Amino acid sequence: MILQYIIFGVDVIVFHADSGSDMSEPLRNWEVPQGIEMFSLDQISKATSGFSKECEVGCGGFGRVYRGNLEDGRTVAIKQASAKSKQGQREFRNEIQLLSRLHHRHLVRLLGFCQSGKNQVLVYEFMENGNLHDRLLGKYSGQLLDCYQRLAIAVAVAQGLDYLHSYAVIIHRDLKPSNILLDGNLTAKISDFGISKVSPEFDTHVSTKPAGTAGYLDPEYFLRRQLTTASDVYSFGVVLLELITGQKAIDQKRPEEFNLIEWVKPRLRNGGIRSVIDSRIAENFPEEQYLALATIALRCAAFDKSERPSIKVSLEAYIVWQLY
């Protein structure tokens, strides 16, 4: 899993504005961040044969996803936002500025952008093994993520979040398996910073309308509308539980305990780690490491944010436990 044969390409997001946005304003008097490339819309169109149906590989609430190739040979993944997008010129520039300063091995890297008429394009590195949701919880038919790959993913995500919180001073707001991408070595990288917030360095929280995904959304943030790094910690705890159990954060097939946190708590307390472990890896997994991970996961997913450890503390606690 640590072998170095990663194949990088490009992940492209295309935004279409509605008539009420300020897309028509040119990108004048704006300095392109250092190290960020400018792509033409023609390059992006050619990569997907004009966004053809044959190149489409998926779609979601954000729009459609295509696979293609740039003329220089790089493999590309293209995300085309729906026509309902209201992101204007200023927001587009801010997002480029935000993403251009994120440099960490466990964050998907912005390579460049394109702005042409009503089209706005962000260009990222390509992650050839898709997202964690499809590999862990979806209908992916390939090789199962084994117990050690899952541990490595957990640590990688923690390291990426620690960088966001401690160095970039950014709150992700929507951490979930579908926003955790996997490269050619199954190395995890956090993606999708579309609703991220820059956290004021000396403030304890940001007051904002709740945004995120059910099952991963911090309940205190939802109730009080006060966003903190602890909101990301909560989401991280849920992701850890999914890695351990192989079950979804919210599942109506668990009628009395549809929330994964409430499903895990009594079983872990009464039956130990074997009562919650994903049956697909139950025959051969390091029980003590997974028990430690489950303990950390439940602390991160505590209802009261004051009871949650920071990502740094969670990561350090797990690493220290492994060493001793």
Q: What is the pTM of this model?
A: 0.84
Residue 256 falls inside a structural domain: yes
Residues 53, 142: one domain? no
Cα separation of 51 and 266, whole Å? 49
Residues 308, 163: one domain? yes
What is the torsion angle, in degrees rounded to the nearest 10, for the CA atoms of residue 38, residue 162, residue 77 and residue 152? 140
Residues 36, 179: one domain? no
11 is catalytic: no
Segments forming the whole domain that contains residue 282: 132-323
139 known member of a binding site: no
Residues 279, 313: one domain? yes
Per-residue pLDDT of the chain in tens (324 residues, 90 and over written 9): 333 323 234 444 444 444 344 444 555 667 889 989 888 889 989 998 998 999 887 675 556 677 778 999 998 777 776 666 655 666 677 778 888 989 999 999 888 887 777 777 778 888 889 899 999 987 776 789 999 999 999 999 999 999 999 998 899 989 999 999 999 999 999 988 765 566 544 344 444 555 568 889 898 876 777 888 999 999 999 999 999 999 999 998 887 788 999 999 999 999 999 999 999 999 999 999 999 999 999 999 999 999 999 999 998 888 766 754
By CB atoms closer than 10 A (0-12, 13-18, 19+), residue 307 is exposed
Residues 174, 255: one domain? yes
What is the torsion angle, in degrees rounded to the nearest 10, for the CA atoms of residue 303, residue 136, residue 134 and residue 189? 70
Residue 102 falls inside a structural domain: yes
In sign, the C-alpha dihedral spanning 266, 300, 151, 194 is positive
Catalytic residue among 174, 192, 218, 278: 174
Q: What share of the chain is helix, strand, coil (3-state, %, to 5)?
A: 35, 20, 45
- DSSP labels for 176-221? -GGGEEE-TT--EEE---TT-EEPPTT-S-EE----S-TTTS-HHH
CA distances for 2 relative to 6, 28, 152, 183, 186, angstroms: 10, 44, 10, 11, 8
The last residue of a domain, from among 66, 99, 124 = 124
- Based on the structure, what is the number of domains in the chain? 2
Helix locations, 23-174, DSSP H: 41-47, 89-100, 132-136, 147-163
CATH number at residue 307: 1.10.510.10
